[in-house]
Amino acid sequence: MFDWVGLLLKAAYYYGQIIGLCNFKIDWQRGRVVAAQRSIIFAIAINVLICMVVLLQISKKFNLDSYFSKVNQLHQYVIIVMVSLRMASGVSTILNRWHQRAQLMRMAECVFRLFLKKPQVKQMSRWAILVKLSVAVVSDFLQMAISIDSVGRLGSKQFVGMALEFWMSAIINMALSQYYLIILFVRAYYHLLKTELRQVIHESQMLSETYPRRGAFMTKCCFLADRIDNIAKLQNELQSIVAQLNQMFDLQGMMVYVGYYIFFISTNYITYSLAKNGIEQLHLTVRAVALGFSWCFFYYMDAILNLFVILNLLDDHKELERILEDRTLFTSALDVRLEQSFESIQLQLIRNPFKFEVLDIFTITRSSSAAMMGSIITHSIFLIQYDMEYF
């Protein structure tokens, strides 16, 4: 059977190497991560080129009148903040990949080892992988189309800036895609853990309802205790992967969340400006506006996918805790070792709660996400009211 999921994952890996995000080599046959000299040299060359172009753009005077005609001062502030934050996010992502390179390699090896242990997780996540990578590819192509469309309206100097912005967007999107795929892999493993735990609890309940014959009863209890211990060990390993991932992406995560926040507010304001001033006054074409709004749609969709894979994993963890509560339905006491295994995994989940934190500033939950959306709407209204009053 044709393994199109594996082909997609390999294509994403090689794309990350081309844009300068991946600075190590993955041996797909053996499932190993190696520090190949060719990959290191290529990544250094691409990253140095990016930094040189960024420094060149910073040294030049940024004239927004080349992009929009009759642009007011508030437009300038909004656009400068958006572009600067995207550039800073891209550069910080590149620098962090070199700073955290050894940790990333160890984590990638751990993920591959678990992946080879349960290869069915790839098929379990195949449609989510397809949707995520498709949205990322369409977003990058639309960003490229926006840069190409700007050739007719901008000069060569401005086009270099647009191309650099596309490059940074591609780096950020690929980094977010890698984060998403690892969380998706952990979530698929959680589904296997929940299925295994339900089976163990069901067998334990059936065992508690039978007359305890000493030899067979104790053997069965020890077998179930071993399965519980394996579940606890695997759950701890998965949670450790997520904790390391969040630690390595802490600064990037903060910049990405701030970027989402600022971009959503800016998009609402720019939409209002288009409705107020018209396309012609802002020196835009219908095609440019259509490309821009299409890119915004896929950008929002990508943000929603990134958010919900985290929220769904948190829900899976809570469901794992709820499944363990069914052990209170046992009609009689089981073997001491099996009871201790159940208590051990429950204490493990209680003492080490599963949470996603952004730079230890705020925690990602459904309530905090809803509060963030409310704040975006409020600040969008404030920005539009400021424009109505002073411009």
Question: DSSP for 281-298?
Answer: TTT--HHHHHHHHHHHHH
Compute the chain's Rg from CA coordinates: 25
CB atoms within 10 A of CB 22: 22
CA 26 to each of CA 4, 190, 223: distance values in angstroms, whole numbers, following the listed order: 18, 25, 37
Tokens standing for residue 337: 């070792």
CA 205 to each of CA 212, 219, 334: distance values in angstroms, whole numbers, following the listed order: 12, 15, 9
User: Strands (DSSP E) along 232-369, which ranges?
Assistant: 357-358, 362-363
What is the distance between the alpha carbons of residues 245 and 277, in angstroms, rounded to a whole number? 45
Could you state, in order of their start, the residue ranges of all structural domains in the chain? 65-390
User: Strands (DSSP E) along the chain, which ranges?
Assistant: 25-27, 32-34, 357-358, 362-363
Buried b (16+ CB within 10 A) or exposed e, 175-197: bbbbbbbbbbbbbbbbeebbeeb
What is the distance between the alpha carbons of residues 104 and 100, in angstroms, rounded to a whole number? 6
Query: What is the pLDDT, as a whole number, of residue 182?
Result: 92
Strand 25-27 and strand 32-34: the pairing is: antiparallel
The pLDDT profile of the chain, 391 residues, written as one tens digit per residue, is: 567 888 888 888 888 888 888 888 887 777 788 877 888 888 889 888 888 888 887 776 655 555 555 556 676 677 777 778 888 888 888 888 888 888 888 888 888 888 888 888 888 888 999 999 999 889 888 888 877 776 665 555 566 777 787 888 888 888 899 999 999 999 999 999 999 999 998 888 888 777 556 677 778 888 888 999 999 999 999 999 998 888 888 778 888 888 888 888 888 888 888 888 777 776 677 888 888 889 889 988 999 999 999 999 999 999 998 998 887 767 666 778 888 888 899 889 888 888 888 777 778 888 988 888 899 889 888 888 888 877 6
Query: What is the pLDDT, as a whole number, of residue 354?
Result: 84
In contact, 388 and 274? CB cutoff 8 Å: no
In contact, 342 and 227? CB cutoff 8 Å: no
Tokens standing for residue 341: 């295994």
In contact, 187 and 313? CB cutoff 8 Å: yes
The reported pTM is 0.89
Tokens standing for residue 336: 């001491």
The 8-class DSSP code of residue 325 comes to G
In contact, 111 and 182? CB cutoff 8 Å: yes
Query: What is the pLDDT, as a whole number, of residue 235?
Result: 92
Query: What is the pLDDT, as a whole number, of residue 312?
Result: 93
- 3-state SS, residue 55: helix
